[in-house]
Amino acid sequence: MPKQFLKTKTMVLAAMFIALDIVITRFIAIQTPITRIGFGFIPVSMCGMLLGPWIGAVAGFLGDFLGMLINSRGMAYFPGFGLSAALYGLNYGLFLHGRKKGFKLIIPCVILSELIIGIGLGTLWLVMMTESSPTAILVSRIPQSLLMAPIKIFMIKLTWEYVGKYIERNVSYALHG
């Protein structure tokens, strides 16, 4: 286990991102049985960007798992979505941790996430859960990803500029010492 996991201050910062993820995803989102439109990606992306890919992955998974325990909306927990949430955090960390957070890296990061995790795995999990036709699910997933990709790109950049940089500068003890 990386020694970064052992720092109490890092765990507290990660816990804050997990809590934000739960609140934003479970209580401030438009949710249908096969589609969710919201901003829960912001805390997960910030966690991966600031704390690295492994902590971003753990935070993504825990946000999904604990969020389902707190507010399942009558649905059973499906671990595939936890894996997807972990992969989002991992991807943001791999692309953006320790690097300049410009559009040059944010755009491919979000596009890769939307194609592989959002459309690919998300469709697979929904097919497994609902036993629906992949085509029927893709009809809603593709437009959702096309709508959300530019929003994610813009919001990640904006959040980094106004929140992420501040945390990196002023809470650096949690990140480095």
| pLDDT band (50, 70, 90) for residue 43 | very high
Domains (range + CATH), the chain: 3-176 (1.10.1760.20)
Asked if 174 and 12 count as a contact pair (C-beta separation under 8 A), the reply is yes
- pLDDT of 2 higher than 60: no
What's the pLDDT tens digit per position in 111-129?
999 999 999 999 999 999 9
DSSP string, 102-167: SHHHHHHHHHHIIIIIIIIIHHHHHHHHH---HHHHHHHHHHHHHHHHHHHHHHHHHHIIIIIHHH
Q: Across residues 68-76, what is the average pLDDT? A: 82
Judge if pTM exceeds 0.85: yes
Select from 67, 50, 11, 64 the least CA-distant residue to 159.
50
**How big is the chain by its Cα radius of gyration, in Å?**
16
What's the pLDDT tens digit per position in 79-114?
999 999 999 999 999 999 999 999 999 999 999 999
